[in-house]
Amino acid sequence: MQVNVLGPFEVLREGRYATPSAPKLRQVLALLVTHANNIVRTDQLIEELWEDHPPKSVTTTLQTYVYQLRKLLHLSGSGTPVLHRTDQLLEAMLSTSPSGYLLGLPPDAMDSHRFEQLAERGRVEFEAGSLAEATETLGTALKLWRGPALVDVTPGPVLQAEVVRLDEIRKNALERRIDSALSLSRHREMLGELTTAVTREPTHEGFQARLMLALYRSGRRSDALQAYQRARKVLADELGLDPSSELQRLHSAVLSADPTLEAPRIRESVRVSQSVDPPAELPSDLATIIGREAQLTTALQALTKPDRKAPPVVVGVGSPGTGKSAFCIHTAHRIRGDYPDGQLYAQLLDAHGEPVDLNEVLGHFLRALGVAPAALPRSLDERCQMFRGRTDGRRVLVVLDDVVSTEQVLRLKPTGSGCAVLVASRRRLSDPTITTTVEMTPLNIGDSLALLGATLGAHRVNGEVDAVHALADLCGGMPLALHAAAGRLRLRPHWSIARLVDWVRREQRRGPELAVKALDLSASIEQTYRLASPAVRTAFRLVSILHEQPVSLQAAAAVLRCTEFSAESLLEELVEFRLCDAEPAAEEPGGFRYRFPSHLRAAAGLLEVVPDHDEIFLPSVSATPTQRTPSPR
């Protein structure tokens, strides 16, 4: 059996065991391998072999086939090395269960498993905008195909469904690979592959459209029009259909030489331009960054790793006031020499705390990289493609401040493996393209004192040791608060450190939220708070002020008047936004309690109240929390 993706017989042909020759025996083996490591039910085997006309002795016949397979292939009911493949043994077994049979094989023994893994990885890279990586990954996946799936088996209905499924995955992978290559302006390179795809599947309008586009962008407009006429004829002759509206629109665009078809050619001409100086947009660095040595080492290792296949994405995340932005800017200055083609910077929240327009950010990036304003496409998707093409093959560092969503990172991520992205985020982010997350925790007392000493000067700190310790304690290890306190003392050189401590404490006695405001933490906390949903904001205001710290789910559910399951969902979102911390609950294995640091608790009094907050919780709740519904961990 010649197979492309899946190799029950491909594996065996290379070993010392005979390939089954009986058609039904081949069907049985093919079905067991396509469902390897899963039970194939007896009724599935019967449907595959005989459909609606099984023999009277069907159970005995099926048992005979399984016995013959075990004997022919030396398969046992326990995992022993039995199948040879080139220079290695495959540990395989064929076991019986009450409902059917299971063929155990290592996952990497099957081409189909490797293909599906690579196809999925390529899909993720493609959707994340890593076009060069997606092209390579999907190309590797498609090389595993050497002809139609299960070509040497006459499939019944069950195997035929598997053949169709695999072929659909193959077509999707091929389309994504072609789209990735076309987005990278590799039109001429793809003409041969597209011509072959159209020849094999002449009624596939997606392949026809891509061939027309590649021909047009290669300067072969007449050939693109002829390709449309051939497609129109084959669709009419074989299916009795007119071309789809998409294909007709593309035909009209080619006829009128629509400028939108030329976007990749604009990008290509910009890329070769050497007249524009590399952008250097990093904000000024701080003189010193204290207490972040471990985080800095982790970030630098990720950002300077050699022989990488995709641009690293490093995310710095932490509670408001922990110095995420300063850390990322300092890290970027440390490695700017590794990115000679430019350093781009964008702040993704505006002055009102609202996410900025990504279209405008990309327009700014492209202009900084030398694209003329008149050449900028209008749509966000087109600007993303142009930015990826512009950064392919270059070494550009992109620094994104005040990131609030994964989409922002994916849209602004460059393509070239020599590029990198450094992110300061107000919430935890999760995506396969994120290579490293660095947590910004509050500084310990020693680092807090060192920061005040470096900012105020050793002579001033050494003269008021007790007051400096008190000030560090009031700032709670927050670099933003420590810098704010030092800045206030520089503005008022006639104040002693003790005088500042007394002033903050007076504000604290008047209201804890006033002390937070005095240390400049309130604005940062409010900015993060406003990014959350109304339900999460309400949960923060109501739960953070509870005297019980850390807060149990039972206490949170009671004050929120909802189930413990709903309370847990809201609290976990607060953890994601770094507005509280989760710690294991000693009394409940696998459970958590939630701690709100003092400065966050104090800030709750300053935050905007959400009107009619009760309506955001479950309508069928009472003041007594209901039995907790277990949630997946």
Is a pLDDT exceeding 50 seen at residue 6?
A: no
**Confidence band of 615 (pLDDT split at 50, 70, 90):** very low
Cα–Cα separations (whole angstroms), residue 548 to 164, 372, 579, 599 = 59, 59, 17, 16
Residue range 459-488, pLDDT digits in tens: 888 888 888 888 888 888 888 888 888 888
**H/E run at residue 582:** strand 581-584
Instruction: Note whether 104 and 82 are within 8 A (CB).
Output: no
Residue 591: which residues within 8 A CB-CB, separation 6 or more? 553, 584, 585
Instruction: Note whether 138 and 122 are within 8 A (CB).
Output: yes
Apex CA 190: angle with CA 162 and CA 385, to 5°? 95
Q: Which of 488, 301, 274, 266 is nearest to 385 (CA)?
A: 266
Number of helices (H) and strands (E) in the chain: give both, helices first.
28, 11
Is a pLDDT exceeding 50 seen at residue 80?
A: no
Tokens for 378? Answer: 């209008």
Apex CA 280: angle with CA 319 and CA 182, to 5°? 90
* Cis ω before 611 (30° cut-off from 0): no
- Using a pLDDT cut of 90, give the percent of the chain over it: 18
Across the range 508-530, mean pLDDT stands at 73
Residue range 186-227, pLDDT digits in tens: 888 888 888 988 898 899 988 888 999 889 888 888 998 999
Is a pLDDT exceeding 70 seen at residue 512?
A: no
Q: Which of 307, 301, 311 is nearest to 331 (CA)?
A: 301
Give me the sign of the Cα torsion angle 312, 313, 318, 320: positive
Instruction: Note whether 83 and 89 are within 8 A (CB).
Output: yes
Tell me, what amino acid is at 212? M
Residue 239: which residues within 8 A CB-CB, separation 6 or more? 203
Instruction: Note whether 6 and 144 are within 8 A (CB).
Output: no
**H/E run at residue 105:** none
Highest mean pLDDT among 37-41, 135-139, 233-237, 266-270: 233-237
Instruction: Note whether 336 and 327 are within 8 A (CB).
Output: no
Beta bridge partners of 592: 584
Which stretch of 380-384, 449-453, 517-521 has the lowest confidence by average pLDDT? 517-521
**Confidence band of 611 (pLDDT split at 50, 70, 90):** very low
Instruction: Note whether 262 and 224 are within 8 A (CB).
Output: no
Torsion angle of the four alpha carbons 289, 295, 300, 302, in this order, in degrees rounded to the nearest 10: -160
What letters, b where the CB count within 10 A reaches 16 and e where it falls short, cover 256-273? eeeeebebbebbbebbee
Q: Which of 606, 607, 577, 583 is nearest to 595 (CA)?
A: 583
Is a pLDDT exceeding 90 seen at residue 438?
A: yes
Across the range 608-624, mean pLDDT stands at 41
Q: 3-state class of 618 per DSSP?
A: coil
Tokens for 187? Answer: 């039109």
- Fold classification of 293-440 is Rossmann fold (3.40.50)
Q: Which of 180, 4, 243, 242 is nearest to 193 (CA)?
A: 180
Residue 376: its pLDDT value, please?
Answer: 79
163: number of Cβ within 10 Å: 19
Residue 505: its pLDDT value, please?
Answer: 83
Q: Which of 120, 157, 151 is nearest to 4 (CA)?
A: 151
Strand 420-425 vs strand 581-584: parallel, antiparallel, or unpaired?
unpaired
Residue 200: its pLDDT value, please?
Answer: 86
What letters, b where the CB count within 10 A reaches 16 and e where it falls short, cover 289-302? bbbbeebeebbeeb
Which stretch of 55-59, 76-80, 352-356 has the lowest confidence by average pLDDT? 76-80
Residue 265: its pLDDT value, please?
Answer: 41
Q: Which of 506, 503, 451, 509 is nearest to 476 (CA)?
A: 451
Across the range 67-77, mean pLDDT stands at 74
Instruction: Note whether 325 and 422 are within 8 A (CB).
Output: no
Is a pLDDT exceeding 60 seen at residue 494?
A: yes
Is a pLDDT exceeding 50 seen at residue 627?
A: no
Mean pLDDT estimate for the chain? 80
- Please provide the distance, in angstroms rounded to a whole number, between the alpha carbons at the two ends of the chain: 45
What class has domain 8-106? mainly alpha
Instruction: Return the residue matching tokens 């490293």.
Output: 436
Tell me, what amino acid is at 190? M
- Helix ranges, 399-511 (H): 406-411, 445-456, 458-462, 465-475, 479-491, 497-510
Tokens for 136? Answer: 């390579």
Tokens for 60? Answer: 């005995």
The radius of gyration of the chain's CA atoms, rounded to the nearest angstrom, is 32
What class has domain 186-257? mainly alpha
Residue range 358-399, pLDDT digits in tens: 999 999 999 898 887 777 787 888 888 889 888 888 899 999
Residue 282: its pLDDT value, please?
Answer: 92
Q: Which CATH architecture has domain 529-616?
A: Orthogonal Bundle (1.10)
Residue 300: its pLDDT value, please?
Answer: 92
Residue 621: its pLDDT value, please?
Answer: 36
Residue range 226-247, pLDDT digits in tens: 999 999 999 998 888 998 888 8
DSSP, res 356: P
Tokens for 85? Answer: 């493949």
DSSP one-letter string for 257-296: T-GGGGHHHHHHHHHT---SPPPB-PPPPPS---S-HHHH
Highest mean pLDDT among 2-6, 79-83, 263-267, 400-404: 400-404
Residue 497: which residues within 8 A CB-CB, separation 6 or more? 456, 460, 461, 464, 467, 468, 471, 489
**Confidence band of 630 (pLDDT split at 50, 70, 90):** very low
Is a pLDDT exceeding 60 seen at residue 127?
A: yes
Residue 343: its pLDDT value, please?
Answer: 95
Residue 408: its pLDDT value, please?
Answer: 93
Is a pLDDT exceeding 50 seen at residue 504?
A: yes
Residue 365: its pLDDT value, please?
Answer: 94
Per-domain residue ranges of the chain: 8-106, 186-257, 293-440, 445-520, 529-616
424: number of Cβ within 10 Å: 25
* CATH topology agreement for domains 8-106 and 529-616: yes
Cα–Cα distance measured from residue 225 to residue 510, given in angstroms and rounded to the nearest whole number: 78
Q: Residue 626 class from Cβ within 10 Å (0-12 exposed, 13-18 middle, 19+ buried)?
A: middle
Across the range 442-458, mean pLDDT stands at 87
Longest dimension (CA), the chain: 103
Cα–Cα distance measured from residue 413 to residue 417, given in angstroms and rounded to the nearest whole number: 11
Across the range 42-60, mean pLDDT stands at 84
Instruction: Note whether 298 and 117 are within 8 A (CB).
Output: no
Across the range 526-534, mean pLDDT stands at 84
- Beta-sheet strand order (sheet of 80-85): 39-41, 100-104, 88-97, 80-85
Instruction: Return the residue matching tokens 């093919």.
Output: 30
Instruction: Note whether 12 and 157 are within 8 A (CB).
Output: no
Residue 299: which residues within 8 A CB-CB, separation 6 or more? 314, 316, 331, 422, 436, 438
Of residues 533 and 298, more confidently modeled? 298
Can you give the length of the chain in residues? 633
Residue range 546-595, pLDDT digits in tens: 888 898 988 999 999 999 899 999 999 999 888 888 888 877 777 888 98
Residue 333: its pLDDT value, please?
Answer: 93
